[in-house]
Amino acid sequence: MNLALNWRLRDQRYRLEGTVCNHCGAKYFPPRQVCTDCKSTELTPHEFDGHGEIYSFTTVRQAPLGHEGNIPYIVGIIKLDEGPLVEAQLTDVNPDDVKIGQRVEMVTRKLREYGEEGMVVYGYKFRPVTDER
Amino acid sequence: MSVMKPKRPVGIIGYGAYVPRFRIRAEEIARVWGGAEDGLPIEEKAVPGLDEDTVTMSIEAARNALARAGIDAKQLRAVWVGSESHPYAVKPSSTIVAEAIGAAGSILAGDWEFACKAGTEALQAAIALVGSEMAEYAMAIGMDTAQGRPGDALEYTAGAGGAAYIVGPAENSLAILEASYSYVTDTPDFFRKQHMHYPEHGNRFTGEPAYFDHVLHGARGLLDGMGLQPSDFAYAIFHQPNVKFPQTVAKKLGFTKEQIAVGMLTNKIGNTYSGAAMIGTTAVLDIAKPGDRILICSFGSGAGSDAFSFIVTEKILERRNKATKTMGYVQRREEIDYALYARYRGKLVMN
Amino acid sequence: MRDVSVVGIGQTKVKEHWDKSLRELAVEAILNAMKDGRVDHADALYIGNMLSGELTAQENLGALIADEAGLRGIEAMKVESACGSGGSAIRAGYLAVASGAYDVVIVAGAEKLTESSNCYTTASLAMAADADYEGIHGISFVALNALLMRRYMHEFDLVPEDFAMFSINAHANAANNPYAMFQSPITLDHYKRARPVAEPISVMDSAPVGDGAAALILMPTERLNGNRDRAIKIAASAVATDSLSLHARRDPLWLTAVELSAKKAYAQAGVTPRDIDLFEVHDAFSIMSAMSLEAAGFAGRGRGVYFARDNDISPKGKLPLSTMGGLKARGHPVGATGVYQAVEAVTQLRGEAGKNQVMDARVAMTQSLGGVAANAVTHIFTN
């Protein structure tokens, strides 16, 4: 059930907390301990806003264990406005309505459950931005 | 018994709603179960998607509330979710919501349950926490994805949705609390045992001795204690398990159709249980004017009623546009049929 | 470092071997290779495998397989780099001989993917990707490649049919390879009507799930035994890595590890892409073929598909690919694949490839990728 593993990732899963390099300013999600650009180890937490656009997407029809109950679902690569790419499911949208370049925002949803009796893992997904305020 | 007022004046700092996007029409349920002879209790209800539950929905409502409140999540000293569909029987939804919105740490986060009034009971507690000066800000959420037994009358109305409220000092409020009142008795009109999937209910017993008795006590307790008349209110939101009950109780108390119209969402999203009175209120706050007095009167089976009187302030004007409005969620709809509904609601036997 | 040669090769057919266990398959390939290489002993065994633990609850394969093959006591270890484990095992064996440590080394690759249910196997294969940031989202390995294929099609204005020739070529070649999983050719129509797995990838774009084992015998070129005339030199052995996850890459549409590994290999062998007579590319997915051609220097960025369309990639063509069926049609028992590629390259360079023979083949390149080219192992063989 990986209780500790999932718990350790809560800041990333719930609030898109990555890192920023204090030396060169590069931003990373997921967090890194060594900056890829300048090799500095001075990186501190940075919470990403969650807005971005779709870089690519596909529909999973043959799911790995733990996700079979959700097929068909859409997974995508999202380019966050702050720079990094992040992979996640797309939600609140039908496969026919997804387009590369579409604006999306982060929401917190169920990623998976470990069976009926097991832990629920919550984390980020992305949905098309709706402008109704 | 007199009405309740906190030691220092408090009010609503921010609020946020959430409704999932799927809808199933009552007609479609009737098609499968043949239950349309007496007419349908509502038009359609909201259905949570496969990746949604009370926790995820509460998180979005809470984020909306924070956006309107303009406070840092770390200033909250309580995040309290009231629901009858918490994902865990042991492990509070509130802890997950608190962590997800960045409020974890020096905070209270137990769950509340009192059928459809769990959210307003949490609201009473939030008022007390802030009003006693134990905390500056506290959050109360009423949210549900309640289950209805297939073919049962309640399946037509058991919807999904709710709202979050942040309570804080009156000076910072978009709606100031005047007073509140709660009325509870042991009345077994509707309940669900620990390991059961679907609730039981007493059919017509849920009407007069339960809903009506407690709502009337709750509302009259507040109105009489404050020396107010229905005409003193711009809006009234009653718990709304269907369309008829709140219309009937409003009439009995002397409220007009116009006063309850804005806060009546059940016809379009179903009975959102712990969320019902809470989200009816956000719909009102989305359009209320400064100076408007609002009555909220919830009902929870078991049974009880919480009643509140709020007066809207100028601050509502700048804050309500900072997050998606209630009608934005209500109008966001994707219709599904009974097959998909059964799949999404976990009614298919998979093991 | 000494020069290294392949003196013996062995392989099993790739199929759903319901009746053979992992150890039986591995031993079969190893004994075949030892017979072909005319050796009756070895100093060390490196065995490539990805999922023995996950799917058959068996780790510590080095000791197990060495013993089962009658080689109890020798140095042995399992080598793992996901679907590139076979290539990495060759690398380990190569270094053991090149360094002077050993004179007779067995490199094997073995995999049984049919031991478990679909969902479980799909989840296990996804372990080649980032578990915390890709796997948790239910992103299967096919889905990862589909994400690349869709973006690639978007950027370079292509449609799925443009990729068909990779699979058509692979199946045509597999039909002449008795060890291949698939034995019949496919047409463009088959490709167009293929069931989607994760759009835009269909079953005709993806390598199948199967079991198999292959093995090589490596010896120092300067100390070959009587098998000299069938020995094939390893002219280059080069490895490079990239980020594991797609999202950490600067340009997800460029396989940097392939580029680095190929460049190192060309330099070591003293050749350029133009000198390559055949390329056993890691065609787990047609998009990987296209992108590998580019990063390995055969085509410009975004031109991989056009290259395959405009140049004949059959054994008679300008750059023969997947000459014995490739991952697509010979099959892809993941940890074994890299060794199958080497077995096939050696077969070509010995002139023993039958109907699939590339005429005057002199220089053969194999490339085994782990994950979505997070790990790239390139070998160049010459006769």
List subunits contacting chain C, requiring 3 or more Cβ pairs under 8 Å: A
ipTM of the modeled complex: 0.95
Catalytic residue (choose from C17, C171, C282, C332)? C332
Question: How many CB pairs below 8 A link A and C?
Answer: 110
Measure CB to CB from residue A132 to each of B87, B96, B324 and give the nearest one: B324
DSSP annotation string for B286-304 = TTPPTT-EEEEE--BTEEE
Distance separating alpha carbons of residues A50 and A35, to the nearest angstrom = 21
Smallest CA–CA distance from C135 into chain A, residue: A64
Question: How many CB pairs below 8 A link A and B?
Answer: 55
Give me the mean pLDDT over the C304-330 stretch: 96
Measure CB to CB from residue C197 to each of A56, A62, A85 and give the nearest one: A62
Measure CB to CB from residue A85 to each of C119, C154, C247 and give the nearest one: C247
Task: Say what percent of chain B tops pLDDT 70.
Answer: 100
Give me the mean pLDDT over the C287-296 stretch: 98
User: A53, A87, A106: which to substitute to probe chain C, counting the most C Cβ within 10 Å?
Assistant: A87
B324 touches chain A (CB under 8 A): yes
The verdict on whether omega for the bond into residue C376 sits within 30 degrees of 0, i.e. cis, is no
CB contact at 8 A, C215 and C333: no
Give me the mean pLDDT over the C150-161 stretch: 97
By residue count, chain B amounts to 351
pLDDT of residue A132: 46
**Coil, helix or strand for C100?**
coil
pLDDT band at residue B39, thresholds of 50, 70 and 90?
confident
Give me the mean pLDDT over the B229-247 stretch: 97
β-bridge partners, B108: B78
User: C51, C54, C137, C148: which to substitute to probe chain A, counting the most A Cβ within 10 Å?
Assistant: C137
Question: Are B55 and A69 a contacting pair at CB < 8 A?
Answer: no
pLDDT band at residue B143, thresholds of 50, 70 and 90?
very high
pLDDT of residue B111: 98
pLDDT of residue C168: 97
Residue B13 burial (CB count, 10 A): 29
Question: Are A125 and B51 a contacting pair at CB < 8 A?
Answer: yes
pTM recorded for the entire structure: 0.94
Alpha-carbon distances of B338 from B47, B149, B150, B182, C256, rounded to whole Å: 11, 13, 10, 38, 50
β-bridge partners, C212: C111
Distance separating alpha carbons of residues C114 and C314, to the nearest angstrom = 30
**pLDDT, tens digit, 9 for 90 and up, residues C343-366:** 999 999 999 999 999 999 999 999
By residue count, chain A amounts to 133
**pLDDT, tens digit, 9 for 90 and up, residues C29-69:** 999 999 999 999 999 999 999 999 999 999 999 999 999 99
Regarding chains C and B, contact by 3 or more CB pairs under 8 A is answered as no
**pLDDT, tens digit, 9 for 90 and up, residues C184-210:** 999 999 999 999 999 999 999 999 999
B262 touches chain A (CB under 8 A): no
pLDDT of residue C370: 97
Alpha-carbon distances of C220 from A22, B47, C325, C340, C350, rounded to whole Å: 51, 69, 30, 21, 18
Distance separating alpha carbons of residues B228 and B215, to the nearest angstrom = 16
Whether C225 shows a pLDDT value over 70: the answer reads no
Q: What is chain C's mean pLDDT, rounded? A: 96
| List of chain A residues whose C-beta atoms are within 8 Å of the C-beta of residue C137 | 75, 87-89, 111, 123, 125
Helix ranges, C58-140 (H): 61-68, 85-98, 118-125
With both helix axes pointing from N to C terminus, report the angle between C334-349 and C85-98 in degrees, rounded to the nearest 10.
60
Alpha-carbon distances of B198 from B84, B150, B345, C15, rounded to whole Å: 11, 9, 12, 49
Give me the mean pLDDT over the C285-293 stretch: 97
Tokens read off for C263: 């460049």
User: A14, A56, A85: which to substitute to probe chain C, counting the most C Cβ within 10 Å?
Assistant: A56
Nearest of A66, A111, A112, A73 to residue A92 by alpha carbon: A73
DSSP 8-state class, residue C135: G
List subunits contacting chain B, requiring 3 or more Cβ pairs under 8 Å: A
Question: What is the β-pairing status of strands A27-28 and A73-80?
Answer: unpaired
Residue C45 backbone phi and psi in degrees, to 5: -130, 125
**pLDDT, tens digit, 9 for 90 and up, residues B189-233:** 999 999 999 999 999 999 999 999 999 999 999 999 999 999 999
Question: Are A64 and C140 a contacting pair at CB < 8 A?
Answer: yes
Whether A133 shows a pLDDT value over 70: the answer reads no
Distance separating alpha carbons of residues C240 and B298, to the nearest angstrom = 65
B53 touches chain A (CB under 8 A): yes
- Helix (H) / strand (E) element for B336: namely none
Nearest of C209, C206, C234 to residue C219 by alpha carbon: C234
**pLDDT, tens digit, 9 for 90 and up, residues C65-108:** 999 999 999 999 999 999 999 999 999 999 999 999 999 999 99
Tokens read off for B6: 């906190």
Question: Are A75 and C126 a contacting pair at CB < 8 A?
Answer: no
β-bridge partners, A79: A53, A85
Helix ranges, chain B (H): 26-33, 54-69, 93-100, 118-131, 213-226, 244-253, 257-261, 266-269, 276-285, 315-319, 326-331, 338-344
Catalytic residue (choose from B116, B155, B214, B217)? B116
Catalytic status, residue B297: no
| Longest Cα separation, chain B | 58
Give me the mean pLDDT over the B124-151 stretch: 97
Measure CB to CB from residue C147 to each of A57, A68, A123 and give the nearest one: A57
**pLDDT, tens digit, 9 for 90 and up, residues C4-17:** 999 999 999 999 99
Question: Are C197 and A76 a contacting pair at CB < 8 A?
Answer: no
pLDDT band at residue A130, thresholds of 50, 70 and 90?
confident
Residue C135 backbone phi and psi in degrees, to 5: -55, -40
Distance separating alpha carbons of residues C1 and A5, to the nearest angstrom = 44
B251 CB-near residues (< 8 Å, 6+ apart): none
DSSP 8-state class, residue C207: P
Catalytic status, residue B239: yes
C248 touches chain A (CB under 8 A): yes
pLDDT of residue C118: 86
Catalytic status, residue B116: yes
